[in-house]
Structure 1
Amino acid sequence: MQVFERSLIVTKSDLDELNHVNNIRYVEWVQNIAKAHWLNNASPEIIKEYYWVMLSHCIAYKSAAFLGDTILIKTYVKKSEGVKSIRMVDIYNNNNTLLASSETTWCLMSSKTNKPARITEDIIKLFN
């Protein structure tokens, strides 16, 4: 299992009316880290041939984040089988407090047919 990480700093635009990070922002961070991991690991040829769509998303909110917090987002692929892949994402603050944990199911799609494509061994190896 290969863990991919990114960090960011909470800005005013991330906040809701309660002055903590809006729940929608966590969902965006989950989607953004998944895309960044794919683009970081896959070759231009693979990226041209395939893309991912999210099938399901489950997120558990554990604690709040606030303006100026440094956020660490960690992701890894838990399982890939057939056309589906399960991705885990954990989001921490600068005190290493778990803020949110997410499990998403993604489907690999063929760019040529816009239909599901079996996940190849080469793609599985990109994330192990």
Structure 2
Amino acid sequence: MTFTALPEHIDELGHVNNTVWLQWVQEVATRHWGAVAPPEHVDRYIWVVTRHEIDYRGNVGVGEIVTAETFIPEPPRGAQFDRCVAFRDSRGKRIVAARSTWAMIDKASGRLVRVPAEVAAPFLA
């Protein structure tokens, strides 16, 4: 996915605010889930974040574009699944890297559930 830094994304330091990077991480993750998971999984499960780690090695200002790529680094652990997102600037330099831990919830019960192998399979390399 690509994102363009808009005026409302910019903080008092003149670059994209940290909270905006988190919004973009969530948008990438949500779209990836919706694009890859079969409809019956999307209908049955929902994900919530339990942890974010973000490394900032650069930033962008108004009008600049970043490209985000995501991957799942390893199989799930119980109800949890880690997802990585890397943002690159127009020169291809990685400027922000995030690793988030997501937990799976069964929509009907509202409870955490162990990630089934068939749910994880389409996301693993």
Give the TM-score, by structure 1 length. 0.91
Amino acid at match of 2:93: T
Mind listing any 5+ residue stretches in structure 2 that lack a counterpart? Answer: none
Is contact 1:73-1:90 (8 Å) kept? yes
3-state SS of 2:53 partner: strand
Q: Please report the RMSD computed on the Cα atoms of aligned residues, expressed in angstroms.
A: 1.0
Amino acid at match of 1:104: S
Amino acid at match of 1:60: D
Q: Cα distance, 1:18 vs. partner?
A: 2.0
Query: Sequence identity, in percent?
Result: 25
Report the Cα distance in structure 2 between the residues aligned to 1:124 and 1:110, rounded to whole angstroms. 15
3-state SS of 2:72 partner: strand
3-state SS of 1:78 partner: coil
Matching of residue 10 in structure 1 with residue 8 in structure 2:
no
Structure with more of its chain in strand, by fraction: 1
Matching of residue 124 in structure 1 with residue 117 in structure 2:
no
Misfit runs of 4+, over 3 Å: none
How many residue pairs end up in the alignment?
123
3-state SS of 2:28 partner: helix
Is contact 1:86-1:103 (8 Å) kept? yes
| Aligned twin of 1:3 | none
